[in-house]
Amino acid sequence: MKLAFSTLGVPGMPVADVVRLAAGHGYQGVELRAHPEEPVHPGLTAAERAAVVEEFRDGGVEILTVAGYVRAAAEGDDAPVLEELAGLVDLAHDLGAQNVRVFPGGGGQDPAAADATAARRLAAAAPHAADKGVRILLETHDSHRAGADVARVVGTVGHGQIGALWDIMHTWLAGEEPAASHAVLAPHLGYVQVKDIASAEDTGPLALGAGVLPLGACLDTLDPDSWVCWEYEKRWHPQAAELPGLLDAGREHLLRLGAAGR
């Protein structure tokens, strides 16, 4: 198992500090939140991008994903969505990241209409992603919370550069068992986001193993060389404990669960 954490857990932290944090706590990769309030975003110059690459290379840490905020199924014109997505793909390519994360964002639309919009846009973005060697991953989230929902869209696209990102909190909130989520997502799966929460009503971030999410059952479904990323949503829950102090115990918990599953 290869472990990463999301910079959502350390909002605004400088890149050099993120790299040191990952390397110092035994995480092989980082999921970079790509937003203007963060150090890494599509507005970076070529020189700034090169400096980010150098920091990660020198620290021996991989940039797993550029986590953007494109909403593939959102209502409106395709052009702005595709332009934003192309910018994220270019950023991922320049940083040497494997993936770009996108959300469904279908809102209250008819599910079939939301599916069609997302599939059309992802299909349109796929050739550029292929040219850049980047995979676009649709996350189990919001309007497409279950694995079956995301698999339906990604399967419709049918392109190798369009895959799925499994956020286990959302599939659990959708009432989907981990084995069922994995069964539908496996043909498209990029990697898994893990986290822990107190309940369906209280989704503030907890230390891994301190909550109710079925982490072991999820990890049991994965291949031993899979990427697993801890998404600790400190940015949205400022009262939560600081992530750096939890990283060692979180890594050990995930490795222990992974070993138990084998």
- Full domain range(s) for residue 119: 2-261
Asked whether residue 261 carries a pLDDT value surpassing 70, the answer given is: no
DSSP state of 97: -
Q: What would the DSSP string read from start to end of 75-134? A: SS-HHHHHHHHHHHHHHHHHHT-SEEEEE---TTS-HHHHHHHHHHHHHHHHHHHHHHT-
Residue 89 contacts residue 128 (beta carbons within 8 Å): yes
On the 0-12 / 13-18 / 19+ scale of CB atoms within 10 A, 217 is middle
For the stretch 184-237, pLDDT in tens is 999 999 999 999 999 999 999 999 999 999 999 999 999 999 999 999 999 999
**Closest by CA position to 32, among listed 101, 93, 85, 81:** 101
Domain count of the fold of the chain: 1
For the stretch 101-116, pLDDT in tens is 999 999 989 999 999 9
Asked whether residue 18 carries a pLDDT value surpassing 90, the answer given is: yes
Place of tokens 């990029």: 190
The domain that contains 169 carries what CATH number?
3.20.20.150
**What pLDDT score was predicted for residue 262?**
54
For the stretch 125-165, pLDDT in tens is 999 999 999 999 999 999 999 999 999 999 999 999 999 99
**What pLDDT score was predicted for residue 260?**
81
pTM of the prediction? 0.97
